[in-house]
Amino acid sequence: MKKNERIVIIGGGLSGLTLAYLLSKHNISATVLEASPRLGGRIQTIKGKNITPLELGATWFSDVHTNLNQLLEHLDLKKFPQYSKGKSLFQTKSFEPPQEFFVSEAEIPSYRIAGGTQALIDRLFEKLASEHIRLETKVTSITEIDNYLVIEANNGETFKADKLVLCLPPQLAGSQISFSPELSSNISTVLPIVQTWMAGAVKFVLEYPEPFWRKNEYSGMLYSHSGIVSEMYDHTNFEENKFGFTGFLNPGSSNYTKELREELVLKQLTELLGKDASEPLTYYDKIWTDEFVISGNQRINKPHQNNGHPFLQESYINGKLLFSGTESSTEFSGYMEGAICSAISTCEKLLKQS
Ligand SMILES: Cc1cc2nc3c(=O)[nH]c(=O)nc-3n(C[C@H](O)[C@H](O)[C@H](O)COP(=O)(O)OP(=O)(O)OC[C@H]3O[C@@H](n4cnc5c(N)ncnc54)[C@H](O)[C@@H]3O)c2cc1C
């Protein structure tokens, strides 16, 4: 890379912030443009009434996610295993009692990040110079002028870049940003059919004053084919003094009102776990269909379709434009590990270019 090149990263999710951080370790400062009013993208931890960290987005990872584990260690963040002791439930039919099963202690654990997944985003942000991070700056066009790129955002601001990295779902890049000169037909045809992991998912969180299920020897784990809650896990914090659940609702529930979703969740859990379940401190859910993750309906639904596509590994507009982000990763695409893998490989590409 040439000295003093201006690097702009579009997207302030895990991949964009990790890339900015990796570059900063080579004394290269990049500007991050983020469309929404917050950093983190598909990572979003909210706090309940008792300040319990509650995950609306990415939550779990495992030992195979070596780059994520290394980054956590490097940033001095702790991980802890997902609680799974006790009776777990599997509901096949609404008119039959649930089946009970036990997760073997020999099973490879899933981990969570102490303090919430957002701690990873916050720690990366702390390491970066905040004046290089721009929120509420949604990029709408990229134009090549002479030997550089001009980036226009919806707030009227423009930025100049010698190198530009798109750290957002490829489908969004294709539908929200206009390119001049136009991207070649190869990549333009692929962008709309790269599946965006978890777009359309409905995640819910619940906070309780006490872990009543643990006292009754339940793990808090539930899989259901019949209720609105399709998957659920204990969401007690690292310190084990704040309690709750998190999981997924069946996708059809996105058509219900929030009030109806809450009512149906509490009804299902009260039937399965008893009266204590009916009085949470906090209920919240999020349907992941907003403009920051998807535009319109996905044209394809096969999980991870075209993720890590060879065209996403190439550079465009005379070597000035690169694709990054979890969907562009050839390994663990869709997951947090994929977001970090893409940042590592994009950083290497930028350092190699000269
Ligand atoms: C409900 C849910 C559950 C998940 N669970 C897990 C899990 O348990 N484990 C796991 O490993 N992964 C999980 N994931 C996936 C994980 O969140 C992602 O792999 C990872 O966060 C992706 O990071 P990214 O930076 O590549 O993309 P994103 O997080 O999508 O970041 C892209 C950023 O670009 C911004 N942006 C979009 N358009 C523009 C524009 N035009 N201009 C500027 N900025 C723009 C967006 O606002 C966003 O901040 C989950 C995701 C969801 C939604």
Q: How far is the CA of 105 from the centre of ligand 1 (A)?
A: 31
Please report the atom of ligand 1 found closest to the CA of residue 324: 26
Atom 7 in ligand 1: which residue has the minimum CA distance? 58
Check residue 244 and report its DSSP letter: E
Please report the atom of ligand 1 found closest to the CA of residue 248: 1
Q: Is the CB of 340 under 6 A from ligand 1?
A: no
- Structure confidence at residue 106 as a pLDDT band (50, 70, 90): confident
Q: Is the CB of 339 under 6 A from ligand 1?
A: yes
The pLDDT of residue 100 is above 60: yes
What gap in Å lies between CA 201 and CA 137, rounded to an integer?
25
pLDDT at 78: 98
Please report the atom of ligand 1 found closest to the CA of residue 338: 19
Please report the atom of ligand 1 found closest to the CA of residue 153: 42
Q: How far is the CA of 286 from the centre of ligand 1 (A)?
A: 14
Section 254-268 average pLDDT: 97
Global pTM reads: 0.97
The pLDDT of residue 236 is above 90: yes
Per-residue pLDDT of 8-46, as tens digits, reads 999 999 999 999 999 999 999 999 999 999 999 999 999
Q: What angle do CA 176, 181, 183 make, to 5 degrees?
A: 60
Tokens 């997760």 map to which residue?
103
Q: Is the CB of 336 under 6 A from ligand 1?
A: yes
Alpha helices in 75-204 (DSSP H): 118-127, 170-176, 185-190
Q: What angle do CA 29, 21, 41 make, to 5 degrees?
A: 110
Q: Which residues, other chains included, contact 135 with Cβ-Cβ below 8 Å and sequence gap of 6+?
A: 12, 34, 36, 37, 38, 39
Q: Is the CB of 272 under 6 A from ligand 1?
A: no
What gap in Å lies between CA 176 and CA 27, rounded to an integer?
31
Q: Is the CB of 174 under 6 A from ligand 1?
A: no
For the chain, list the domains and their CATH numbers.
Answer: 1-43+117-193+292-354 (3.50.50.60), 47-114+202-287 (3.90.660.10)
Nearest to 87 by CA among 224, 213, 245: 213
Per-residue pLDDT of 161-207, as tens digits, reads 999 999 999 999 999 999 999 999 999 999 999 999 999 999 999 99
What gap in Å lies between CA 262 and CA 256, rounded to an integer?
10
Phi, psi of 84 (to 5 degrees): -145, 15
What gap in Å lies between CA 42 and CA 124, rounded to an integer?
15
pLDDT at 316: 97
Please report the atom of ligand 1 found closest to the CA of residue 327: 26
What gap in Å lies between CA 50 and CA 44, rounded to an integer?
17
Q: How far is the CA of 209 from the centre of ligand 1 (A)?
A: 30
Please report the atom of ligand 1 found closest to the CA of residue 40: 49
Q: Is the CB of 59 under 6 A from ligand 1?
A: yes
pLDDT at 296: 80
Per-residue pLDDT of 275-333, as tens digits, reads 999 999 999 999 999 999 998 877 777 899 999 999 999 999 999 999 999 999 999 99
The pLDDT of residue 354 is above 60: no
- Structure confidence at residue 61 as a pLDDT band (50, 70, 90): very high
Q: Is the CB of 159 under 6 A from ligand 1?
A: no
% residues pLDDT > 90 (the chain):
92
Q: Are 249 and 229 in contact (CB under 8 A)?
A: yes
Out of 101-110, 118-127, 339-348, pick the least confident: 101-110
Q: What angle do CA 225, 229, 233 make, to 5 degrees?
A: 110
Q: How far is the CA of 15 from the centre of ligand 1 (A)?
A: 8
Phi, psi of 351 (to 5 degrees): -70, -30
